[in-house]
A and B are shown apart, each in its own frame.
Chain A
Amino acid sequence: MQRIAGTYGNSNRDDFLHAQKVDHTSDGLVIRWFDGSTTSIPLPDPKLKVTLASTPAAFPCNVCKHRGGGGVENSRVAAEFISEAVGGQGEIRYLDANRYDVSIASELTPPARTLALRDSPTNYVIGDGDDKKVFRSPVEPAGPLGAPQLTTSSGSSMPRPSS
């Protein structure tokens, strides 16, 4: 019997920052970029993930790679991993609350749909392992959710991601 798994959540884009040096101070982080400039980020809380009120101007200029992330993508990857491990032949469906961009769409295995409630935010990641920090963008309010998004059974009328 074919089984169908569905994953739902919010995607984001993870942009990985490439820095020359990251210093931890009592107030936060001081990031030294390869052009010699620095960015200081106050971190009153030592949590792994921090939501910034605004993105530092240096972040977009120092991205070395990006990939899709967020709960919905992580669950899809996990479901695929488990399905392969147990020899499953089922279908894994992906429903994203966010309007994901091309960089995320290129990593997805169909069928993938979006409710397009808001654009996928970009998170910035620096470091790895125990030294990793994730700087999250604020989540925008949701756009309207109406019948076209909720009543289809095939998903065919759901909005496609914009490019």
Chain B
Amino acid sequence: MNIPKDEEPVIAILDERRRTGSEIIFVLTPSLPAQFLKTTVLPDTNVLIGAFDEL
């Protein structure tokens, strides 16, 4: 997932990841709330990438 801007699809993809065991690479984005990233994305992500031009 590369800089997604909407929470619902991210939640759906993470749910699917739990079902299939696939790996998630996530490019962090300030477009999503920090609390959502912290509580929902980080625990279920295998690799996190910070986009240098978004920091």
Contact = CB atoms under 8 A, between A and B. Distances in A.
B2 interface: yes
A8 B6 contact: no
Nearest to A115: B9
A104 interface: no
The number of chain A residues touching the other chain, given as a range, is 20 to 34
Interface in A46-64: 47-49
Contacts of A10: 3-5
Contacts, number: 46
Contact of A8 (B4, B31, B53): B4
Interface in B1-55: 1-6, 8-9, 12-13, 22, 27, 31, 53
B53 A97 contact: no
A51 to B, nearest CB: 11
A72 B9 CA distance: 13
A89 interface: no
Contact of A71 (B4, B8, B13): B4
A129 to B, nearest CB: 14
A10 B32 CA distance: 13
A48 B5 contact: no
A161 interface: no
B2 A7 contact: yes
Interface of A: 6-10, 47-49, 70-72, 74-75, 95, 97, 115, 117, 139, 142, 145, 150
Interface of B: 1-6, 8-9, 12-13, 22, 27, 31, 53
The 4 closest A-B pairs by CB, nearest first: A71-B2, A71-B3, A9-B2, A75-B2
Given A8-B1, A71-B3, A150-B12, 11 more contacts: A8-B4, A8-B9, A9-B1, A9-B3, A10-B4, A48-B53, A70-B3, A71-B27, A97-B5, A97-B6, A117-B6
